[in-house]
Amino acid sequence: MSDRVQLRTFALIDNMQPQYAALTGTVVKGDVCLAGMAQLYIEMEPGSEIYRLLDAALKNTNAKPGFQIVEREYGQIELHSFSIDDVKEAGEAILNASGLNINDRIKPEVVSEQIINNVDPYQAQLINKFRHGSLLVPNESLLIMEVEPAGYISIAVNETEKNADIRIIDFDPVGKFGRLYVSGAESEVRAAREAAINAINDIEGLENVRT
């Protein structure tokens, strides 16, 4: 395997929460994921590696693909199943095919986070123009967070829903930075922030060398 192959993200979610699964289901191009499923999100560099790796996962496991994306720098794969064992086996098949192990993944980092309280109606309308999830209601609190590598934002979003009474406005796991937008009462948004940061900080991996 070429030394240039880099495992940017290896993110395993054991139980997709209802809002997170529903929002993900609106953007996937392949098999639709549902609440209660386990999910695997993998991000590789160079991007074209994901075609061969997804092939290995599909031929050796029962996990279903939601998407395969190759953008300017990176490639992403999403797989899911009601059986967490299927998803874990898919991850192992991909690691074996790439000649890597989970310890080769990059450790994620929260690169930006902020809470906006009492969101202005005009800003709420601007955000609602691009959201795929719930509407942002004026005067609520809004958490915005950025994570690098991007794919790990999926874990952060799912954990906000597990640990706080919030609404997922949008999230984007593709590109250099992953972003989430969640809203609710200030106390709930602060609980969501803590859950998301803790989830990211708990993931082990190699230190990211930024370019």
Q: What is the pLDDT of residues 83-104, one digit of tens each?
A: 999 999 999 999 999 999 999 9
Angle (nearest 5°) at CA 206 between 205 and 209: 140
Q: DSSP secondary-structure letter at 69?
A: E
Beta-sheet strands, E only, within the chain: 6-13, 38-45, 64-70, 75-81, 109-116, 141-148, 167-172, 178-184
Confidence at 28, pLDDT banded by 50, 70, 90: confident
pLDDT over threshold 60, residue 2: no
Instruction: Give the Cα separation of 204 and 185 in Å (integer).
Output: 31
Q: Which amino acid is at 131?
A: R
pLDDT over threshold 80, residue 211: no
The pLDDT assigned to 191 comes to 98
Find the mean pLDDT for residues 165-178.
94
Averaged pLDDT of the chain: 94
Instruction: Give the Cα separation of 70 and 93 in Å (integer).
Output: 20
pLDDT over threshold 80, residue 200: yes
Say if CB 44 and CB 7 are below 8 A apart: yes
Instruction: Give the Cα separation of 33 and 40 in Å (integer).
Output: 11
Confidence at 108, pLDDT banded by 50, 70, 90: very high
| pLDDT tens column, 136-152 | 999 999 999 999 999 99
Confidence at 1, pLDDT banded by 50, 70, 90: very low
Domains of the chain and any CATH numbers? 6-104 (3.30.70.1710), 109-201 (3.30.70.1710)
pLDDT over threshold 80, residue 72: no
